[in-house]
Structure 1
Amino acid sequence: MFVHKIKSDGLAHLSYLVGDGAEACVIDPRRDCDVYIRHARERGAQITHIIETHRNEDLVSGAPILSQQTGAKVYHGPNADGEVVYATTTKEGDEFQLGNMCLRILETPGHTYDSISIAIYDQELEKGAVGVFTGDALFVGDVGRTDFYPEQSEKVAGLLYDSLQKLMQLGDQTIIYPAHGAGSVCGNDMANREFSTIGHERENNSRLKIKSREEFIKEKLDEHHYIPQYFSLMEHLNLVGGSEIDKVLIPKPFAPGRFKPDLADWLLDVRSVTSFGGAHVPGSISMPQDMISAFAGYFLSESDSIFLISDHSDQAEQASRQLARMGFDNIVGRLDGLVGLSTTGAKIKSLTFVDAECVRKRVNSSKDNWVLLDVRSKDEFEQGHIDGARHQYVGHIKSCLGELDAHKEYTVMCGSGARATIAASFLQANNFKNVDVFLGSMGAWKANK
């Protein structure tokens, strides 16, 4: 009997290959799904079942693709927001036998109406679940967000409370296997570890300590989450089924002499923020490779063409893989570094970084034409900010661009300077002439009081 976790970095997505003997099941597969077939073969097992715990909002499901490759049947929970054309509906109490492993379906709505959890039973034991795949209902240290149905917010929060009580009844010995870890946008306070039990969560998870259903609903309604615009694309693709991912994800390299800024709708610079600050192509957007999953979906649309500026092919491949998992496949090429480009006489820009002392002087001078733009989340801003700072979440910079005066001077800040560089690069690309970044941002400000 085995449970093998497969993590997709960036999205902090957790999927699982589980089974016993010659039969295996995949829980919540990602789009690039060859990894499941490879691991199953290494164990001498065949993938016979695929189960989705819920409608994924943040990535393209690999379930229909894996089904085509293996012949395994896909199962999805009831009450989906539309017909999941590639799946068969599974309901409360359904069981799937894999050797001595039995997978039993629990309906656990709240995060979405179609959410299910999957309890693991070892038939050699008399009673008690061994583990449970909780999807986005229960995480390590947190529970799922319930803001996808704004007009029914109280109802779905109450449904999640009821679902969590059902999970608690599995017993303290039960190991939990969630669909996401820390860094996912599907929760606020996930622990920075990926192992726990029902008993541990019962004692330590702040949301599970709430005993009143009414209080739980109130707490959930008071939460604040952001919804990237690409979530609607994911919801559509995960009803009709996404296409197979390209086998080769290394974008075509362009020689510096062939590069032109108008090669694509977006020039995404996936190098570090300091590399971008030192030198970048005019009009390009800083989107560090390890931040693509969190923020690219606020800027890109499905049909947009993308050109990557990277340090090397491995970085470009990782960036392409993360974009593909989110449904952004139209990557037309890449440029490795800017040294070669600079020798062609092409235009190169820089982005100025300033320190805490400089920002403090600007704050004290009260310049009318200067704006300190804080692009952290609403929760972060409300927990503490620099007096006089204007808040504008980085993910909303594109949609709220018209609310900012391009003739003013901007210093952009966040927690460390990384999100600020993304926002500042977008402003700079949209003809904001006087923009710099507070490197170190809130961390530096607190350290230099």
Structure 2
Amino acid sequence: MIVEKIKTDGLAHLSYFVGSGGDAAVIDPRRDIDVYVRLADAHGMRIRHVLETHRNEDLVSGAPTLARETGARIWHGPNPVAPVSYAETVREGDSFDLGDARLEVLETPGHTDDSLSFALFDRDFGEGAVGVFTGDALFIGDVGRTDFYPDRPREVAGLLHDSLRKILGLGDQALVYPAHGAGSVCGSGMADREFSSLGHERRNNPMLQIADREAFIDAKVSENHYQPPYFRLMERLNSEGGSAMQRFIMPPRLPADALTDGAEAQLVDVRSITAFAGAHLPGSLAIPDDMLAAFAGWLLDPEREIRLLAEDGRQAEESVRTLGRIGFDGVSCYAAGMVGGATQGVVFRTLPMVDTETVRRRLGDDMPNWQLLDVRSIDEFEAGHIDDAIHVYVGQLPEELGRLDRDRAVTVYCGSGKRAAIAASVLRANGFGEVDVYLGSIAAWKADGLRLAA
């Protein structure tokens, strides 16, 4: 019996290959499915089942593509309001035998109405569950968000409470296999590790310490979560079956100056923020490759052409792959680096960076033509921010530009400076002239022992 975890960086998505006796199942596959096919070949197994713990909001499911390639059957939880067209329905008590392994279905709604968990049993050794694939119901150190049904907040939070108690009933010995790890938008308090047991979670997961059902519901409905616009696209694609992506096709490489030949194209710089600050193409958005999954869905239009500026072909390929996993298939071309373009006379811009002393001086001088922008989450902002800062979450900045004075200079900060650079590029692309980034941001402010407002 084998359980292989497949991690998709950026999205912090975890999928699983489970097999025994020549048969295998894949749980929550990502859109690029080659890894599962390779695992099946390596272990001499046939993928017979594709199991989905819920309809994902943050990435395109690979279930339809994997089923077409392998002949596997796809199974999804019951959802009479929004059924998944490409899957068969599975319910509480159903099970799947894979050699010595058995996967038993638990209906665990709360995160979504169709949420399932799959308890793993070894039929040759005892009756207790070896592990449980919890989807987005139970994470390591946290539990799933319940804000996808704004008209039923207390009901769905209560459903999650009941589902968690059902999962815990499998016993402390069972290992936990969640669908996401730390860094996912599906939870905010996850531990920075991907292994645990129900016993450890029962004793240490803060949300599982809230035994009272009403208190748990109160805690869940008071949470703040953001929903990027692309979540609606994921809902549609993961109901209809998405589009096949069995192989990634790299777009052509062009000179840097050719990227600006197209007024309607979205120009995205996936290099580091320091590279962007040193030299970038006018009008480009800075979304470093390791932050694409988090912010492309906020700042890009999936219906419009995308052009990339990367450090090299490898970074461009990974960026195309990341964008494809969240349904952004419109990358038409890429360029590598700015140095070659600069030697050919390509027009470029720089993004100034400032330090703590500069920000302190500007605050002390009470500058009438300057504004300080905090682009962290609302929870981070309320936990402590710099005096007089305006708060707009970076993902919501394009819709909130009216809150800023275009005639005043802007200094942007976040936790370290990376999100601030993204936000600064949004401001510059939308016509704000005098913009700089507080490099180090709150981390640097705290390191100097400076006061934060609450």
Shorter-chain-normalised TM-score: which range? over 0.9
- Code of the residue aligned with 2:398 in structure 1: it is K
Paired residue for 2:75?
75
Shift of 1:164: 0.3
Provide the rounded CA distance (Å) in 1 between the counterparts of 2:25 and 2:262.
46
Residues 285 and 426 in structure 2, CA contact (< 8 A), matched pair in contact too = yes
Shift of 1:408: 1.2
Matches within 5 A, 1:274-423: 274-423=274-423
Provide the rounded CA distance (Å) in 2 between the counterparts of 1:198 and 1:284.
46
Residues 120 and 131 in structure 2, CA contact (< 8 A), matched pair in contact too = yes
Residues 256 and 346 in structure 2, CA contact (< 8 A), matched pair in contact too = no
Shift of 1:407: 1.2
Cα 1:438–1:373 change in 2 (3 A) is: same
Paired residue for 1:128?
128
- Code of the residue aligned with 2:179 in structure 1: it is A
1:171 aligns with 2:171: yes
Paired residue for 2:102?
102
Shift of 1:249: 3.9
Provide the rounded CA distance (Å) in 1 between the counterparts of 2:288 and 2:88.
39
Q: Give deviations 1:289-342, integer Å, cap 9, x for gaps.
A: 000011110012221110000000000011111100000001010010111111
Shift of 1:404: 2.1
Residues 13 and 180 in structure 2, CA contact (< 8 A), matched pair in contact too = yes
Paired residue for 2:194?
194
Question: Which runs of 5 or more structure 1 residues have no equivalent in the other structure?
Answer: none
Provide the rounded CA distance (Å) in 2 between the counterparts of 1:436 and 1:261.
27
Residues 257 and 346 in structure 2, CA contact (< 8 A), matched pair in contact too = no
Cα 1:229–1:257 change in 2 (3 A) is: closer
Question: Which runs of 5 or more structure 2 residues have no equivalent in the other structure?
Answer: 450-454
Shift of 1:250: 2.9
Write out the 4+ residue segments of structure 1 that deviate beyond 3 Å after TM superposition. 256-259
Q: Give deviations 1:195-225, integer Å, cap 9, x for gaps.
A: 0000000000000000100000000011100
Shift of 1:246: 5.8
Residues 259 and 334 in structure 2, CA contact (< 8 A), matched pair in contact too = no
RMSD over aligned Cα, in angstroms?
1.1
- Code of the residue aligned with 1:400 in structure 2: it is E
Paired residue for 1:185?
185
Shift of 1:109: 0.2
The SS at the match of 2:118 is: strand
1:92 aligns with 2:67: no
Cα 1:290–1:11 change in 2 (3 A) is: same
Provide the rounded CA distance (Å) in 1 between the counterparts of 2:227 and 2:69.
32
Provide the rounded CA distance (Å) in 2 between the counterparts of 1:81 and 1:285.
38
Cα 1:80–1:12 change in 2 (3 A) is: farther
Provide the rounded CA distance (Å) in 2 between the counterparts of 1:275 and 1:70.
43
Paired residue for 1:431?
431
Deviates most, 409-418 or 240-249: 240-249
Provide the rounded CA distance (Å) in 1 between the counterparts of 2:448 and 2:119.
51
Residues 172 and 199 in structure 1, CA contact (< 8 A), matched pair in contact too = yes
Paired residue for 1:212?
212
Shift of 1:158: 0.2
The SS at the match of 1:166 is: helix
Provide the rounded CA distance (Å) in 1 between the counterparts of 2:201 and 2:42.
33
Provide the rounded CA distance (Å) in 1 between the counterparts of 2:319 and 2:29.
19
Shift of 1:238: 0.3
Q: Give deviations 1:220-264, integer Å, cap 9, x for gaps.
A: 011100000000000000000011226234331003464434265
Residues 259 and 267 in structure 2, CA contact (< 8 A), matched pair in contact too = no
Provide the rounded CA distance (Å) in 2 between the counterparts of 1:229 and 1:263.
23
Aligned identity (percent) is 56
- State how many pairs are aligned: 449
- Code of the residue aligned with 1:127 in structure 2: it is E
Provide the rounded CA distance (Å) in 1 between the counterparts of 2:21 and 2:263.
51
Q: Give deviations 1:139-195, integer Å, cap 9, x for gaps.
A: 000000000001100000000000000011000000010000000000010000000
Cα 1:170–1:259 change in 2 (3 A) is: closer
Residues 55 and 80 in structure 1, CA contact (< 8 A), matched pair in contact too = no
Paired residue for 2:452?
none
The SS at the match of 1:37 is: helix
Provide the rounded CA distance (Å) in 1 between the counterparts of 2:260 and 2:181.
39
The SS at the match of 1:105 is: strand
- Code of the residue aligned with 2:381 in structure 1: it is F
1:53 aligns with 2:53: yes
- Code of the residue aligned with 1:349 in structure 2: it is R
Residues 251 and 316 in structure 1, CA contact (< 8 A), matched pair in contact too = no
Cα 1:81–1:301 change in 2 (3 A) is: farther
Residues 111 and 144 in structure 2, CA contact (< 8 A), matched pair in contact too = yes
Cα 1:257–1:54 change in 2 (3 A) is: closer
Matches within 5 A, 1:225-240: 225-240=225-240
Shift of 1:265: 2.2
Deviates most, 124-133 or 253-262: 253-262
Provide the rounded CA distance (Å) in 2 between the counterparts of 1:307 and 1:400.
25
- Code of the residue aligned with 1:369 in structure 2: it is N
Residues 267 and 284 in structure 2, CA contact (< 8 A), matched pair in contact too = yes
The SS at the match of 1:186 is: coil
Residues 19 and 101 in structure 1, CA contact (< 8 A), matched pair in contact too = yes
Shift of 1:346: 2.1
Provide the rounded CA distance (Å) in 1 between the counterparts of 2:60 and 2:101.
28
Cα 1:161–1:317 change in 2 (3 A) is: same
Provide the rounded CA distance (Å) in 2 between the counterparts of 1:314 and 1:165.
45
- Code of the residue aligned with 1:208 in structure 2: it is L
Paired residue for 1:440?
440
Provide the rounded CA distance (Å) in 2 between the counterparts of 1:130 and 1:298.
39
Provide the rounded CA distance (Å) in 1 between the counterparts of 2:256 and 2:186.
40
- Code of the residue aligned with 2:56 in structure 1: it is N
Q: Give deviations 1:383-414, integer Å, cap 9, x for gaps.
A: 00011111000000111123322111100000
